[in-house]
Amino acid sequence: MATRNDQIIFSIIFKKGLAERQRLPLDHVISTLMQIQQMIREVGKQIQRDAGIENPDGDFGVELLAGPAGLAFRKGSLKAAATITHDIPNGLLAINALIDTTDVLGKRNPSFAAHEYAEPILRRLPKLSRIQEEDQTELHLALSKDRHVLNKTTLGEKGRETLKRFEAPELGIDAITVYGKLRELRDQTRTDEEDKGFFWGEIVEESGRVWRVRFRDSAQTRVMALFRKQVAVTGNVAYFKTKTPRVDAVEINSDAMPDYLAAYQRFNEAYQDVFEDIEAEDILDQIRG
């Protein structure tokens, strides 16, 4: 198991384009680092949740390094190096998921079937891609231990073209109502210019299916009052190849959880001659296995 003393370093390197002139817009560098941090956090929360950690936050104490190994211009490139300071095993899984998912984009026939944590990464990578395209740079990511590279990838022109294809919705359907529990409210305007005027949430159906929901700021008070409750959200749905469906919410209302036992009791009473002396609870137990 890795420890802090193992000198694990996560390197983010900008090459080509403006980096060759050793000049990059400061806001582009900061935006890139923030998006990478958010991807690690979002993937990390899923990994921690799957590992049974209570109150997962995806915070691995990622810190930029100072000195020769830290943020510095090199010949034809700008390098930022960081390290993980706590929950190192899960932090390594999160960074490897970021590197592996990014690497698939450069393949001839990219497939993310085996990448269970790809969705939050593919949702944010297009923002990095647009910055790269403007600066004509390549983004190199590498994970190393004691100067030995464990994993690495490059997001270049081919990867950017793949992202453009994946970013477009494959199908749109108007006026769909989704039922489930409202969770994960978040404001992304600090990192996503296009989300100004909106905030995001998630709807989780009883089956476990997750829907991303985009609400208008004007609905904030009503949505906040329904946080963590069973709701019905109506809006226009966009389906994507590599991301969970997105609902642009038009209306949200409380939706009381159905009382299945009471409903089945009424059904049992209506068909008493069929079920005879079998109790509703016993039938439900048989259905549940």
Residue 215 pairs in a beta bridge with 199
Query: What pLDDT, in 10s, does the model give residues 269-285?
Result: 776 776 666 666 676 67
**DSSP calls for 71-124:** SEEETTEEEEEEE--SSHHHHHHHHHHHHHHHHHTTSSS---TT-TTHHHHHHH
| Domain ranges (residues) in the chain | 4-167, 171-254
- The single-letter DSSP state of residue 57 is -
Q: What single-letter amino acid sits at 74?
A: R
Give alpha helix (H) positions in 150-231: 157-167, 220-225
Length of the chain, in residues:
289
Q: What is the pLDDT of residue 249?
A: 96
Nearest partner of 83 among 146, 154, 38, judged by Cα: 146
Nearest partner of 6 among 161, 146, 158, judged by Cα: 146
Beta-sheet pairing, 198-204 with 72-74: unpaired
Q: What three-state secondary structure class fits 146?
A: coil
Q: What is the pLDDT of residue 169?
A: 76
Residue segments in the chain with a per-residue pLDDT below the cut of 70: 1-6, 67-76, 112-114, 188-195, 242, 257-258, 260, 264, 267-268, 271, 274-281, 283-284, 287-289
Q: What is the pLDDT of residue 2?
A: 44
The domain covering 171-254 belongs, at the CATH homologous superfamily level, to: Nucleic acid-binding proteins (2.40.50.140)
For residue 66 the two structure tokens come to 């100072």
CA distance 279 to 177: 34
Neighbours of 82 (CB within 10 A): 24
